Structure 1
């Protein structure tokens, strides 16, 4: 299975390399953010209790003639000297585009998840960008996840964004299926923010303040470890 997935990834990369010589970037957004909250499970010295975490994030998202790119890096600093780094690199390649319906694009998707703890996860999938009235964006992607510890893991990822003036709600929902090595788990992670940039000037594109809520049932596939964490958020779009 790994060899087959690697072959698909190599062919996809070759196709993209051939097409990006004349590729066009339509838009891009870069941001830095600081998040602080408590009640984080597992990530810290208290495994099944509330850990406090400050998270510093660099994030990029962009749209291209060949598809889109999203990546970010988190640096976590917590109780008793706890530190960790986590990143995701996630390109998507447009297979077909449509007009006038709910489905805008059908995409081939690939994600690499990496952590400083030595864990790497490779996700291969197919998804769709959706045209939902009133929403800034929405998508649904089904992945096959592969790593050295867990096999036959499937994940459904939903993303969404909505705004009204300076008020904004966006985030994602991940659902991973049960395997022989882990429990099924659900991660619901919205950010609710208000953009202060119109009030303080246009030094930055957006200056968002608000909260992030993280519900993660059976976090990391660990039976009975359920996270409910609310964190303060400052996010600056450059």
Structure 2
């Protein structure tokens, strides 16, 4: 269930967000050819299909995900196109997080126990279509932790504000991870995902959302590691959209294809 915010002010905010996002992409793509600091990043597309374990119903999702760095800046974003397989009312949900890296500003890695970097982040969450839509903006520090190998572990802490006078500002705490698990020379697993804990924002209570994923590096079995992954994702949402007692549990098959 989604809360409905479709007034003219929200439509203006959405148009402004899309304009800024488009301008940022144009500047980044144009800067690759001329800037001394080269933009580096990677993208993937995911195809998911699963069933709601709490209630009957099927869900199909196409996700486009991107991460990139540009000097002291980095960004992460994704877009989900999903619906209940009927194709009658698809929804587009997107999140975008630009971040400023303190270690890259200082020119050296931060050595504070397990912390390897501190970042200041902003973010927007936007839903288009479906039964309703909403706009959320976030800001706050993020902490990246030192892990052996190429694994990623970070903790993001945000001030969270949903558009609408009736909504109070609250907090969001998000640990996320992406950890390779080599089993053998041929069998390589990858465990990734995140957890969002969002506090009470006025109407609606606190909510918890997690989406852990476990993948087999399918491409590695034919000598092309890191290109194609096959696995599963479990999406669990306690108090969906802040509605107490409304939970969602969806187990999905997931095919991830790297676009690098």
Contact 1:67–1:107, Cα closer than 8 Å, also in 2: no
TM superposition shift of 1:228: 1.4
Q: Distance in 2 between matches of 1:123 and 1:94?
A: 17
Pick the aligned partner of 1:198 from 220, 230, 234: 220
TM superposition shift of 1:109: 0.5
Residue 215 (1) aligns with residue 236 (2)? yes
Structure 1 unaligned blocks of 5 or more: 1-16, 42-48
Structure 2 unaligned blocks of 5 or more: 1-26, 104-108, 183-187
Q: Deviations for 1:144-187, whole angstroms, at most 9, x for unmatched residues?
A: 11122321221001111111232010000100112321211111
Deviates more, 1:97-106 or 1:177-186: 97-106
Pick the aligned partner of 1:106 from 113, 118, 125: 118
Contact 2:51–2:252, Cα closer than 8 Å, also in 1: yes
SS at structure 1 position matched to 2:102: strand
| Structure-2-length-normalised TM-score | 0.74
Partner of 2:23: none
Q: Which has the higher strand share?
A: 1
Q: Considering only aligned residues, what root-mean-square deviation do their CA atoms show, in Å?
A: 2.2
SS at structure 1 position matched to 2:136: strand
Deviates more, 1:169-178 or 1:130-139: 130-139
Partner of 1:52: 58
Q: Distance in 1 between matches of 2:201 and 2:162?
A: 13
Residue 126 (1) aligns with residue 120 (2)? no
Residue 92 (1) aligns with residue 117 (2)? no
Partner of 1:8: none
Contact 1:31–1:59, Cα closer than 8 Å, also in 2: yes
TM superposition shift of 1:100: 6.8
Residue 23 (1) aligns with residue 37 (2)? yes
Alignment of 1:150-229 (within 5 A): 150-165=167-182, 166-202=188-224, 205-229=226-250
Alignment CA distance shift 1:70-1:157 (3 Å): same
Q: Distance in 2 between matches of 1:93 and 1:78?
A: 37
Contact 1:35–1:233, Cα closer than 8 Å, also in 2: yes
| Structure-1-length-normalised TM-score | 0.81
Q: Deviations for 1:4-52, whole angstroms, at most 9, x for unmatched residues?
A: xxxxxxxxxxxxx9xx965343x422111100011177xxxxxxx3331
Partner of 1:237: 258
Q: Distance in 2 between matches of 1:52 and 1:82?
A: 14
Contact 2:102–2:118, Cα closer than 8 Å, also in 1: yes
Partner of 2:153: 138
Alignment CA distance shift 1:32-1:183 (3 Å): same
Contact 2:141–2:157, Cα closer than 8 Å, also in 1: yes
Alignment CA distance shift 1:59-1:172 (3 Å): same
